Structure formats: structure tokens, C-alpha cells
A and B are shown apart, each in its own frame.
Chain A
Amino acid sequence: MVYVVDMKEGYNIIKRITLIKKERKGILYIILFTIILAIIRPFIGPYWSFIVAYGLIISIVGLGFNLLLGYNGLLSFGHAGMFGIGMYTLGLCTKYFNISSLEILILLSIIIGLIIIIGLGYVASKLIIVYFALFMLSFGQIIFALTYKLYGITGGSDGLSIPILTILNINFNSRIDFLYCYYYFVLLIFTICTIFMWILVNSPFGKTLQAIKVDDIRATYIGVPVRKYRYIAFIISTLYAVISGALYGPLNGFIYPELISHVFSGEIVYLTLLGGMNYFAGPIVGSFIYTILKVYIPTITEYWQFIMGATLIIMILLFPGGIVGWIYSKFKKR
């Protein structure tokens, strides 16, 4: 049977994304967090500005990833591929079309990302968890292989360097000046993404997604169009990864295929579990801890993957709630 996505029903589902009234407090916390980060910027040097901006960018992909894993029970090993699509769209547009306006580049990445996601999601939303994981894993590997092997276009393992871009038509003389302004740009996008995600998971739409996670067969029986919900959740989740990838390029100034190998997909999974996958703040806390770990662990040992794997096993077997879950349980007992 050919399954046609009914536009009207899809629209009705999207209409259900409205914040449940008693959850309004959460937005205040998010804005407070943003204001704190905005105030501390002049007091921390360029090094820590870079690290905080990196943490914010990784939080965006973590939030998107958690919409699938924590709120819908689908594990994706392909978010690095999505990240790569955003990253390379931006990189290739600066190289071949000489666009230097950041806003236009990000919009372009989102549009190209959406075209790919809508096609991919049509198949991916049909699949159950194990098949979905396999499907996304091979998708991520394909994007990696393409960026690696199409040497003539992407520069292969030599990578692509990204020039200093302009934000709102302001030119920057040095990378440091650009970084200081870019920090606020990333913070703005992070805030928009986080507030939208908060509204999403605390809306009737988000609650239905969680119902699907608990039992998809029962959800089907009570009349939930499971596949359409998954389709929309997939589109939003992977779009976050694309946005995050597009933001990463200008920050680092240099992109190369190893950034988006399956190890990075694993790292996204890692930070989500570290923070706590059943909690909204989990991926945000996780990505900041992960960023700091990634800065300091290479100075101690070169076996970062081993440590990642070992802590993952410990988290799975002993602390499935992650750091946020652990703090939460301590808080509750008192």
C-alpha cells in the first residue's frame, strides 16, 4: 500500500505545537541562562569564548538528537551526517559562490538540508528502532564517504577553509573580532532553538510523541497517526543538526571530513546520555561537560574513545538517568 502524507492532517498535527500553560516558567529559566552567558562574554578571553560558543553549537545538535532518543525512543547514529550537510553546504557556498553574508549562508544550509531531510524522513519514519539505527548509520557513513572521496569538489581530507564572514553587513578585520560578535550570534540562535524545543516537548504534540515512545502499537490503536508524528519529529530533529553544522564552520574556520565520521555520531549519543536523555536540560549540560572533557582529556591520555566507551557502559548499566537525573533524584529525596 502506498502511503501518501495527507497535508491537511500534517497541518493539524503542527497546530498542536502550543505550550501547555503551567510550563511557562521554563522559558524564563532559558532566558536567564542566555542573559548570564551574554553578560560573562567580556570577562572571559577569546579562548573561553570559543569553548562556550562550541558548547552552545553542540547543545543545539544534542537537543535535536534528544527529541528522537529521549522523547521518541529512536536512536540515530546519523546525526553527524546531518551536521556534515550543514557544514559542507556553508563551506561549499563560500568557496564556489563567494557569498560572505552569514545570514544568507545559514538560510541556504537550512533550505538544502530540508530538501534532503524531507526525502530521507519519508523512508526513515516508516522504520522501527533497529532498522532506523542501521539506516541512519549508513546514511552518516555515506555523507562521510562523499566528503572524503569527492576530492575535486570538497577538497577531501585536505579540508576547506572558511574566510571571515560578515554578520549583518559588518566587516571584521581579525578572527578575534569576528569571534566576539559571532558568540552573540550563536547565543541568539541557541536561545531561539531551545525555546522552540521547550515549547515543542511541552505541547500536546510533544506529549503524544512520548506516548508513542512508551508504546507505539497502543498509540496506533487509539488513533494516533504514529508515522506522521515521527516524520515531523525527524524533520525538526535533523534540522537542528543541520543548523548546528552550519554554525560550526565559521567558528572553527576550517572543516574536514574526519569531523563528521561515525565517531562524532557516537559523541552526540555520548553527550546526551552523559547529561541524561530523559530530561530537557540533559543534552545542554552534557554538551558543556563533553566540551570541557574534550579539551582536557587529550592532555592526559590519547585513548579518548576508550574512555568514552567505558563511561557509556557505566552510564547505561548504573546511571541511566545521566548527570541531570542523578542530581534530580538527590534533590527529590530531601
Chain B
Amino acid sequence: MSVGLLIAIFFNTLLFFSILISITIGLSLIFGVLGILNLAHGAFYTLGAYVAISLFSYFTNVPPIIYYILFFIASVIVGIIGMWIEPTLLRRVYKLPDEYQLLLTFSLSLIILDTIRYFWGVMPYYHYEFFAMLGNSEIAGTIYPNYYFVAIATVILLLILLYLLLFKTKIGLLIRAASMDKEMAISLGINVKALYPLVFALGIFLCAMGGALTTPYSAITLGIGSEMTTIAFAITAMGGLGSLKGAILGSLIVGFVRALGVFYFPEIELVVVYIVMFIILSIKPYGLCGRYERRV
């Protein structure tokens, strides 16, 4: 195996890992603050991809920087939808048992997917213009598309921004307080409920960004969210729900295991991921970094 091929495999894994992390970080953030597991995450991922592709086909023949901004616009649109859904639907089930919250987000995902089917139809969508515009570059004899670097860099940029938001601003402090100990935060006078739409929208924004970033290099169909979120759910269970450290650690493990899995058992790479989850959960039932929390 040549060096160039190894580098290509490394960057492919990194790309997969960055898309994955944008989904899992959103899931963990929402679980940490709102205390609900968002089963509709895959639907929002798909919605992000579809909105992005519609914007792309609307703006043709524009410079690359405009295309780049369109990714953000698409994700913000989906984020705003999330911000509207939280107070109207999710707020009604916080006091009910956990299973009702799962059921509600699950039915939400059914509704969103069928709405996408209504507006966009079942035909796959392609959009290679931005991908072709950026061209290729050569690393150690292997041709590698520039777009992949852009996608990876975007996710890294978002992670840095998220870090700055969470650890350097007032609102980030409030979010961390709410996710660490909600009762204590409330008793100290923080209006935790006011944070909910914001955090939900942030999680949805990150996830939609993951969906939007996949549009230039793959066909967009209704099923794209299904496999990605299955892996993302496995990661969040592995890493521990509500823990950002766990989400990153879990994504790293899965990215690595999947790269090996694709190499050795290409037919059943998903099963390999699942076996790792099985082993981790049988040793640590709350995930690697999870802590046991009782519902109040």
C-alpha cells in the first residue's frame, strides 16, 4: 500500500468522523440540557441536506464563497424550525415519563420525513457544482478532492466556535450549569426554561450542518439519515449520554473501528460497530463518561 493511499484513507476516516461528530455533539448537548433523547435527529439531518440542495439549485453560477455561506444559511433555517418545535411540542412532555419523550421525538421524525417526501419527492438529488469548482489536489501521488478539506475544516471551525460559546461566554456558563445540575441552577435563579429553545436550536443546527456538508459529494435520498444516526445513537450510548467528552471519545472509537471494519469485513462494517457497543455497554451500562441521573 502506497503512502498516498494511506493518507487518503486517513482523510476519508477524518471526514466521516467530522460528519459524525457534528451529529453526536448536537445529540449530547440536547440530552444534557433538555434531558430528552432526540430520536428525530436523523430527520433533521436529512432536512438539512435537502434544504441545502434546494438553495444550491436556486443560486447557480455564483462564486465559491457564496456557496460556502449557503451551507450556514441552510443549517440556520433548520435550526429555526427546531427553535419553533421546542416550545410548541417538546415542552409538553418534560414532566411525563421518559418513554413518552422518546415516543414524541420518534413521531416527530416520521412527520418530518414524510413532509420531506411531500415537498421533494422520492427521486435522489445530486449537486456536484461546488465540488467540481474547488478542484483536486495531489498528495504523494494520490488525487484528493479539495472539498473534503473544506468540510473537515468547517467542522473544526464549528467545534472551536462551540468551545468559545460554551466556555468563554455568559450564556455558555448558564448552559453548562443547567446541564451539570438543573435543580441547583434553578434554585440559583437561572431561568433554565429560557435556555431550552436556544440549546435545541443549536443542536439541530450542528446536525443540519452535518447533513448539508454531505450534499456536494453524495446523492441525497430520504434514507441518508438512517444509517448515520444509527451509528450516532450507538456512539452516544457508548460515550455516555449528555457528555460532550463521551461524544468525542465515542466518535473517535467508532471512526477507528469502522475504518478497520471497512478494511477487513466490508459487508458487515455496521455489525462491527455494534459489537463494540455491546462490549462497552455490558461493562459500563451508562457509557464511558456517562453518569447515572434520576429523573426528578
Contact = CB atoms under 8 A, between A and B. Distances in A.
A190 interface: no
Interface string A238-280: 0000000000000000000000001000100100010000000
B217 interface: no
A75 B37 CA distance: 13
B236 A134 contact: yes
Interface residues of B, number: 47
A127 B277 CA distance: 13
A306 B277 contact: no
A265 B228 CA distance: 18
A74 B99 CA distance: 7
Q: How large is the interface on A (under 10, 10 to 19, 20 to 34, 35 or more residues)?
A: 35 or more
Interface string A303-334: 11110111011001100100000000000000
A217 interface: yes
B178 interface: no
Contact of B278 (A123, A129, A217): A123
B267 interface: yes
A146 B271 contact: yes
A149 B268 contact: yes
Nearest to B103: A316
Contacts of B227: 141, 145
A273 B214 CA distance: 36
The residue in B108, B115, B227, B230 that gathers the most chain A C-beta atoms within 10 A of its C-beta is B230
Contact of A316 (B98, B104, B237): B104
A41 interface: no
A150 interface: yes
B274 A126 contact: no
A122 interface: yes
Interface stretch (B46-54, B127-135, B203-211, B280-288): B280-288
Interface stretch (B69-77, B89-97, B144-152): B89-97
B102 A305 contact: no
The residue in A69, A266, A308, A316 that gathers the most chain B C-beta atoms within 10 A of its C-beta is A316
A312 B286 contact: no
Chain B, interface SS category: helix
B94 to A, nearest CB: 13
A137 interface: yes
A149 B267 CA distance: 7
A75 B102 contact: yes
A134 B98 CA distance: 13
Contacts, number: 124
A210 to B, nearest CB: 13
A130 B241 contact: yes
Given A130-B98, A134-B236, A262 B277 contact: no
Contacts of B278: 123
B29 to A, nearest CB: 15
A131 B271 contact: no
Contact of B106 (A77, A127, A130, A131): A77
Given A146-B268, A317-B92, A129 B110 contact: no
A139 interface: yes
A303 B237 contact: no
A46 interface: no
A141 B226 contact: yes
B285 A309 contact: no
Given A73-B99, A131-B286, A310 B107 contact: yes
Nearest to A138: B234
Nearest to B240: A131
B282 A141 contact: no
A102 B96 CA distance: 44
B117 interface: yes
A134 B107 contact: no
A313 B292 CA distance: 29
A232 interface: no
A312 B40 CA distance: 14
A67 to B, nearest CB: 14
A195 interface: no
The residue in A73, A126, A266, A305 that gathers the most chain B C-beta atoms within 10 A of its C-beta is A305
| A-B complex: 7 closest residue pairs judged by Cβ atoms | A309-B110, A306-B114, A312-B107, A309-B111, A309-B107, A75-B99, A134-B237
